[in-house]
Amino acid sequence: MERMNFFVKGQKAAKALGGFPGYLSKSSIDKNLQNLIYIRVSQINGCAYCLDMHTKDLRLLGETEQRMIMLGAWNEAHKLYTARERAALAFAESLTKISNGGGVPDDVYAEAAAHFSDEELADLTIVIIAINSYNRINVAFRTPAGDYVPGQWG
């Protein structure tokens, strides 16, 4: 059952998140990696709307079905993901699961810092914060999934 449509009834509140897409469109983190992170974080958070959206967007960017399907086990699929992608996914998982205690482990941070410049690491953090924010809105308000049309949000 859908609850309130946050993006219609909560337009003023939604504007608070409005800076994320514009900033990330110019980010040092490429669109494919952003979308891989969006999918993995959305899997963790159980956000069907974001899974629908970002798999469709990533398909248009030329990503393979195999890499999208295997995201749930990325750490076991070393041939499919680069070391940089694995570092980003580990960082994204740690930051998303921060309530597990201990924050982002030093080894995960060090691996991310080895593959990303300071500016890129800041951008990577914003990528993760942004998708976690949207996941929580869509989960809280049960935004229906399946009807997203690529490009509909800009």
Fold (topology level) of 18-140:
AhpD-like (1.20.1290)
Domain boundaries along the sequence of the chain: 18-140
Both structure tokens of 51: 């899974």
How many residues appear in the chain? 154
DSSP states of 14-77: HHTTTHHHHHHHT-SS-HHHHHHHHHHHHHHHT-HHHHHHHHHHHHHTT--HHHHHGGGGGGG-
In the structure, what pLDDT confidence band is assigned to residue 108 with cuts at 50, 70 and 90?
very high
Query: What is the dihedral sign for C-alpha 48, 105, 109, 121?
Result: positive
Note the pLDDT of residue 153.
67
CA 144 centroid distance within chain? 18
Q: With 70 as the cut, is the pLDDT of residue 45 above it?
A: yes
Q: Does the pLDDT value for residue 129 go beyond 90?
A: yes
The two tokens of residue 137 are 């809105």
Give the other-Cβ count within 10 Å of 65's Cβ.
10
Q: 15 is written with which tokens?
A: 């504007």
CA atoms within 13 A on the CB side of 131: 31
What is the percent of the chain where pLDDT is above 90?
73
Give pLDDT, residue 26.
93
Six-digit token string for 73: 């086990």
The pLDDT score that the predictor gives to residue 35 is 97
**For residue 17, what pLDDT band results from cuts at 50, 70 and 90?**
confident
Residue 76: pLDDT above 90?
yes
